[in-house]
Structure 1
Amino acid sequence: MLELQHIAVQKNGTPILMQVDLRIAAQEIHSILGRNGTGKTTLAYSLMGLPDYALNAGDILWEGRSITNLSVAERAKLGITLAWQEPARFEGLSVAEYLHLGQQGKKAAFSPAQCLDQVGLDPTAYLARTVDATLSGGERKRIELAAVLAMQPRLAILDEPDSGIDALSLDFIKGVIRTLVREGASILLITHHEEVAAMADRASVLCAGRILKTGLPEEATRLFRNHCQPCRHVNEPEEELIHYV
């Protein structure tokens, strides 16, 4: 479904991603394992087409066709969506309105209430709430994941969905990921937690902007656990890069 061919991304003249090759099949869960500063979020933003993360080299193919020059909106129309590491803010909307946004023009498989149930939030307590600062970070994360489910994407890019989430919430997130796959989606699951990566069909280890290995999750997590250590090189501003030793 999705293929990255030798993609490279620079920020302010600094290489972030270098010669990254990756393939994601239909209805596959593919984990990207890497510590902070390895380029995981840059990879997510580049795939979504954010203007500040345009490719310096390489190509992104969607079902065999290049989408490298398509905008965020055009990629979204293809069915690609991104759940941010820091949940997006839509101040003033009710949760119900927010969940309806991605369903416009679609025959919805799940109602907003069902989407909230899937992430472990009581619809009677949350549908009428406003998306604002009264929601905790964990609540925002789960509501954003409910919105991804409501969108019925063909490819969901989940950037650290487990960040700042307790163990109970993590179980709900895993459940949503499985539901998305059953509904026909592919998942790119970006994480530095081995427990989350373990649910994938395949996993890749990203280090210093390069893919070190792609294989079964247990193979990737073994490499990640035993060989990825912080080093002093700079990859992303004010973040550590990881060195393969």
Structure 2
Amino acid sequence: MEKDKYVREMKRYFLDADTGERAGREILEHLEDKQEYYVQMGFSEAQAEKKAMEDLGNPEILGRKLNRCHPPGLDIQTLWTILFTGFLTFLLHWVFIEHDLYFEKIPGAIERFLGLCGLYGFGIFFSVFEIWMGTQELYSIRTKEGTVMLWNSTYICGIGIGIAAQSWEEWMMLAAAGGLLALAVRTVVMKRQWSFANRYLFREGVLSKDTSYRGKAVFPGEHRPKAVFYYEQQEDTLKEGSPVVVGRVEGRRLIIQPESS
């Protein structure tokens, strides 16, 4: 049916697939209600369906507007990641510190603080780098609910907390601080990434050099060319001046395809 095609087209412009599915179901129900309304007014089924879609307008414009209304926030994957890491720190602390196994207690509070700061910095750096490059799902556990990302800021910091905490009270304080920091970093970085992807997804440009894998493209309104990648058919070379469109965004990588396709 035409309205199903309309909804599929609209969902293409959602960066988050789950949000797109929910919005698609709501839009489909709205179209069916509008179609029934026009049928009762005397229109045929086909005419009513067409008029209902006309009322909503261009599916691309609708999809882009709805996508901008649904930026990423805190989700169940993030919470599961922090809970998993908290359980890991609990085991590490119980085995290695409380039972004096393999590790001696770190003597000074300053040394423990500096060591944890180093681990936090190291973990956050790699977490941001993974999100930037769009490779964070390489470090993940697959579940029935989706992907639980074990990104490095929680994982590495969890190891440090489990080993460095000198008591259960200190462990609880460090684990709570680490969880809050992980939530804050992920929220800020992922929202910035969402804004970047929303800005360039399906945007049209022109190549400023021949491109077989990595090149540059000029986008209207930009002061300088942006780096782009062409994964789909690396044996082909897209020539300078070719019109291209951003088919998807992986981290900060703009994946292009020929505009004609």
Q: Sort the TM-score into its range (normalised by shorter chain).
A: under 0.3
For normalisation by structure 2, the TM-score amounts to 0.21
Q: Which has the higher contact order (CA 8 A, sep 6+)?
A: 1
More helix by share: 2
For normalisation by structure 1, the TM-score amounts to 0.22
More strand by share: 1
- Structure with greater Cα Rg: 2
